[in-house]
Chains A and B, each alone.
Chain A
Amino acid sequence: NAGVTQTPKFQVLKTGQSMTLQCAQDMNHEYMSWYRQDPGMGLRLIHYSVGAGITDQGEVPNGYNVSRSTTEDFPLRLLSAAPSQTSVYFCASSHTLHGGALGAGELFFGEGSRLTVL
Protein backbone atom coordinates (compact mmCIF):
# COMPACT_ATOMS: atom_id res chain seq x y z
CA ASN A 1 0.00 0.00 0.00
CA ALA A 2 2.86 2.44 -0.68
CA GLY A 3 1.01 4.68 -3.17
CA VAL A 4 3.07 7.81 -3.89
CA THR A 5 6.38 8.04 -2.04
CA GLN A 6 8.39 11.25 -1.79
CA THR A 7 11.92 11.65 -0.47
CA PRO A 8 13.34 13.45 1.36
CA LYS A 9 10.61 14.76 3.68
CA PHE A 10 12.77 17.68 4.81
CA GLN A 11 15.76 19.38 3.20
CA VAL A 12 17.75 22.54 3.86
CA LEU A 13 19.86 23.98 1.05
CA LYS A 14 22.10 26.95 0.58
CA THR A 15 21.51 29.33 -2.30
CA GLY A 16 23.06 27.97 -5.46
CA GLN A 17 23.12 24.33 -4.41
CA SER A 18 21.43 21.69 -6.50
CA MET A 19 19.29 18.80 -5.41
CA THR A 20 16.70 16.29 -6.59
CA LEU A 21 13.36 15.56 -4.99
CA GLN A 22 12.39 11.97 -5.61
CA CYS A 23 8.88 10.71 -6.37
CA ALA A 24 7.88 7.10 -6.95
CA GLN A 25 4.48 5.48 -7.38
CA ASP A 26 3.57 1.81 -7.46
CA MET A 27 0.08 2.09 -8.97
CA ASN A 28 1.17 1.96 -12.63
CA HIS A 29 -0.18 5.48 -13.16
CA GLU A 30 0.61 7.14 -16.46
CA TYR A 31 0.18 10.71 -15.21
CA MET A 32 2.55 12.22 -12.66
CA SER A 33 3.00 15.81 -11.58
CA TRP A 34 4.77 18.13 -9.19
CA TYR A 35 3.14 20.96 -7.23
CA ARG A 36 4.51 23.52 -4.86
CA GLN A 37 2.48 24.93 -2.00
CA ASP A 38 3.23 28.28 -0.42
CA PRO A 39 1.24 29.87 2.42
CA GLY A 40 -1.98 31.38 1.10
CA MET A 41 -1.24 30.34 -2.49
CA GLY A 42 -2.82 26.89 -2.66
CA LEU A 43 -1.05 24.40 -4.92
CA ARG A 44 0.64 25.47 -8.13
CA LEU A 45 1.55 23.05 -10.89
CA ILE A 46 5.27 22.96 -11.75
CA HIS A 47 5.70 20.14 -14.30
CA TYR A 48 3.74 17.10 -15.33
CA SER A 49 4.17 13.93 -17.36
CA VAL A 50 1.64 11.77 -19.18
CA GLY A 51 3.99 8.83 -19.63
CA ALA A 52 7.60 7.70 -19.80
CA GLY A 53 9.62 10.05 -21.97
CA ILE A 54 6.90 12.75 -22.04
CA THR A 55 7.01 15.85 -19.85
CA ASP A 56 5.52 19.33 -20.05
CA GLN A 57 5.46 22.58 -18.12
CA GLY A 58 2.80 23.67 -15.70
CA GLU A 59 2.08 27.08 -14.21
CA VAL A 60 5.44 27.75 -12.49
CA PRO A 61 8.20 25.72 -14.24
CA ASN A 62 11.12 28.17 -14.03
CA GLY A 63 14.06 26.90 -11.96
CA TYR A 64 12.96 23.27 -12.11
CA ASN A 65 13.75 20.35 -14.39
CA VAL A 66 12.05 16.99 -14.67
CA SER A 67 12.49 13.74 -16.56
CA ARG A 68 10.44 10.55 -16.80
CA SER A 69 12.56 7.56 -17.76
CA THR A 70 10.24 5.00 -16.13
CA THR A 71 6.53 4.83 -15.36
CA GLU A 72 7.25 4.65 -11.64
CA ASP A 73 9.62 7.59 -11.09
CA PHE A 74 9.33 11.33 -11.66
CA PRO A 75 12.20 13.27 -10.05
CA LEU A 76 12.20 17.05 -9.70
CA ARG A 77 15.57 18.78 -10.01
CA LEU A 78 16.58 22.17 -8.70
CA LEU A 79 19.74 23.11 -10.55
CA SER A 80 20.60 26.25 -8.57
CA ALA A 81 18.38 26.71 -5.54
CA ALA A 82 17.06 30.16 -4.65
CA PRO A 83 15.29 31.36 -1.48
CA SER A 84 12.12 31.83 -3.59
CA GLN A 85 12.02 28.06 -3.98
CA THR A 86 11.46 27.57 -0.25
CA SER A 87 8.16 25.70 -0.22
CA VAL A 88 6.42 22.41 0.34
CA TYR A 89 6.52 20.19 -2.73
CA PHE A 90 3.91 17.56 -3.54
CA CYS A 91 4.07 14.83 -6.11
CA ALA A 92 0.81 13.41 -7.48
CA SER A 93 -0.16 10.64 -9.87
CA SER A 94 -3.26 9.36 -11.63
CA HIS A 95 -4.45 7.09 -14.39
CA THR A 96 -5.09 8.74 -17.73
CA LEU A 97 -8.00 8.27 -20.05
CA HIS A 98 -8.36 4.93 -21.75
CA GLY A 99 -10.72 4.35 -24.62
CA GLY A 100 -12.98 7.25 -23.80
CA ALA A 101 -13.24 6.75 -20.04
CA LEU A 102 -14.89 9.73 -18.39
CA GLY A 103 -13.79 11.99 -15.61
CA ALA A 104 -10.74 14.04 -14.73
CA GLY A 105 -8.95 11.29 -12.89
CA GLU A 106 -8.37 10.98 -9.17
CA LEU A 107 -5.03 12.46 -8.14
CA PHE A 108 -3.09 10.55 -5.49
CA PHE A 109 -0.65 12.74 -3.57
CA GLY A 110 2.51 12.01 -1.65
CA GLU A 111 3.08 13.32 1.86
CA GLY A 112 5.16 16.25 0.68
CA SER A 113 8.77 17.42 0.85
CA ARG A 114 9.52 20.56 2.83
CA LEU A 115 12.41 22.49 1.29
CA THR A 116 14.14 25.48 2.84
CA VAL A 117 16.68 27.48 0.85
CA LEU A 118 18.90 29.78 2.91
Chain B
Amino acid sequence: LAKTTQPISMDSYEGQEVNITCSHNNIATNDYITWYQQFPSQGPRFIIQGYKTKVTNEVASLFIPADRKSSTLSLPRVSLSDTAVYYCLVATQYNFNKFYFGSGTKLNVKP
Protein backbone atom coordinates (compact mmCIF):
# COMPACT_ATOMS: atom_id res chain seq x y z
CA LEU B 1 0.00 0.00 0.00
CA ALA B 2 1.55 3.24 -1.17
CA LYS B 3 1.15 5.55 1.81
CA THR B 4 2.09 9.18 1.48
CA THR B 5 3.89 11.63 3.75
CA GLN B 6 3.35 15.37 3.56
CA PRO B 7 4.22 18.31 5.81
CA ILE B 8 1.43 19.04 8.26
CA SER B 9 1.32 22.74 7.52
CA MET B 10 2.97 25.52 5.50
CA ASP B 11 2.79 29.29 5.57
CA SER B 12 3.14 31.60 2.61
CA TYR B 13 2.39 35.15 1.53
CA GLU B 14 0.23 36.38 -1.30
CA GLY B 15 2.02 36.43 -4.64
CA GLN B 16 4.60 33.82 -3.71
CA GLU B 17 5.09 30.44 -5.36
CA VAL B 18 4.32 27.54 -3.04
CA ASN B 19 5.79 24.07 -3.39
CA ILE B 20 4.32 21.19 -1.39
CA THR B 21 6.25 17.94 -1.47
CA CYS B 22 4.79 14.49 -0.95
CA SER B 23 6.81 11.37 -0.26
CA HIS B 24 5.58 8.01 -1.57
CA ASN B 25 8.45 5.55 -1.33
CA ASN B 26 6.34 2.46 -2.03
CA ILE B 27 4.63 3.70 -5.16
CA ALA B 28 3.72 0.89 -7.56
CA THR B 29 4.23 0.79 -11.30
CA ASN B 30 0.53 1.34 -12.04
CA ASP B 31 0.01 4.11 -9.47
CA TYR B 32 -0.77 7.67 -10.45
CA ILE B 33 -0.12 10.70 -8.26
CA THR B 34 -3.09 12.94 -7.68
CA TRP B 35 -3.54 16.11 -5.66
CA TYR B 36 -6.77 17.39 -4.15
CA GLN B 37 -7.68 20.68 -2.48
CA GLN B 38 -10.17 21.01 0.36
CA PHE B 39 -11.72 24.16 1.76
CA PRO B 40 -13.45 24.16 5.16
CA SER B 41 -16.92 22.59 5.13
CA GLN B 42 -16.49 21.37 1.55
CA GLY B 43 -15.53 18.11 -0.10
CA PRO B 44 -12.08 17.77 -1.68
CA ARG B 45 -11.64 18.95 -5.25
CA PHE B 46 -9.31 17.46 -7.88
CA ILE B 47 -6.36 19.70 -8.79
CA ILE B 48 -3.94 17.73 -10.91
CA GLN B 49 -2.75 14.21 -11.71
CA GLY B 50 0.45 12.83 -13.18
CA TYR B 51 2.51 9.70 -13.74
CA LYS B 52 6.03 11.01 -14.40
CA THR B 53 8.00 14.16 -15.30
CA LYS B 54 5.94 17.34 -15.29
CA VAL B 55 2.27 18.09 -15.69
CA THR B 56 0.81 21.58 -15.84
CA ASN B 57 -2.74 22.85 -15.94
CA GLU B 58 -4.39 26.23 -15.41
CA VAL B 59 -4.04 26.15 -11.63
CA ALA B 60 -0.92 24.14 -10.75
CA SER B 61 2.11 22.17 -11.84
CA LEU B 62 3.13 18.72 -10.69
CA PHE B 63 6.78 17.68 -10.74
CA ILE B 64 7.64 13.98 -10.50
CA PRO B 65 11.28 12.79 -10.52
CA ALA B 66 12.39 9.75 -12.44
CA ASP B 67 12.23 7.39 -9.43
CA ARG B 68 8.64 8.59 -8.65
CA LYS B 69 9.25 8.24 -4.91
CA SER B 70 8.16 11.82 -4.34
CA SER B 71 6.23 14.56 -6.07
CA THR B 72 5.90 18.31 -5.72
CA LEU B 73 2.77 20.36 -6.21
CA SER B 74 3.61 23.90 -7.29
CA LEU B 75 1.08 26.71 -6.91
CA PRO B 76 2.18 29.89 -8.73
CA ARG B 77 1.50 33.28 -7.14
CA VAL B 78 -0.86 32.15 -4.38
CA SER B 79 -3.67 34.32 -3.10
CA LEU B 80 -5.64 34.28 0.14
CA SER B 81 -8.23 32.05 -1.54
CA ASP B 82 -5.62 29.30 -1.88
CA THR B 83 -5.69 28.79 1.89
CA ALA B 84 -6.84 25.18 2.14
CA VAL B 85 -5.73 21.63 2.90
CA TYR B 86 -3.90 19.88 0.07
CA TYR B 87 -3.90 16.08 -0.16
CA CYS B 88 -1.48 13.89 -2.08
CA LEU B 89 -3.00 10.62 -3.20
CA VAL B 90 -1.24 7.69 -4.83
CA ALA B 91 -3.61 5.20 -6.41
CA THR B 92 -4.64 3.29 -9.45
CA GLN B 93 -8.04 2.26 -10.67
CA TYR B 94 -6.84 -1.35 -10.60
CA ASN B 95 -7.21 -1.20 -6.82
CA PHE B 96 -10.23 0.87 -5.87
CA ASN B 97 -9.77 0.19 -2.18
CA LYS B 98 -6.45 1.99 -2.32
CA PHE B 99 -7.96 5.47 -2.63
CA TYR B 100 -6.57 6.54 0.71
CA PHE B 101 -6.10 10.17 1.70
CA GLY B 102 -3.52 11.09 4.32
CA SER B 103 -3.82 14.02 6.71
CA GLY B 104 -2.86 16.53 4.05
CA THR B 105 -0.93 19.81 4.22
CA LYS B 106 -2.65 22.86 5.64
CA LEU B 107 -1.53 25.85 3.55
CA ASN B 108 -2.02 29.21 5.19
CA VAL B 109 -1.62 32.18 2.84
CA LYS B 110 -1.07 35.49 4.58
CA PRO B 111 -1.65 38.98 3.17
Question: Which residues in window 80-111 of B have CB below 8 A to A?
Answer: 87, 89, 91-94, 96-97, 99-104
Please tell me if A35 contacts chain B, counting CB pairs below 8 Å: yes
Please tell me if B29 contacts chain A, counting CB pairs below 8 Å: no
Question: Which residues in window 24-41 of A have CB below 8 A to B?
Answer: 31, 33, 35, 40-41
Q: Give the number of residues in B that approach A within 8 Å (Cβ atoms).
A: 26
A interface, size bucket: 20 to 34
Whole-angstrom CA separation of A41 from B100 in the bound complex = 11
Q: List 15 A-B contacts (CB under 8 A).
A: A31-B93, A40-B103, A42-B103, A43-B87, A44-B100, A45-B100, A56-B96, A90-B44, A96-B96, A103-B49, A104-B31, A104-B32, A104-B99, A105-B93, A112-B42
B residues with CB within 8 A of A: 31-32, 34, 36, 41-46, 49, 51, 87, 89, 91-94, 96-97, 99-104
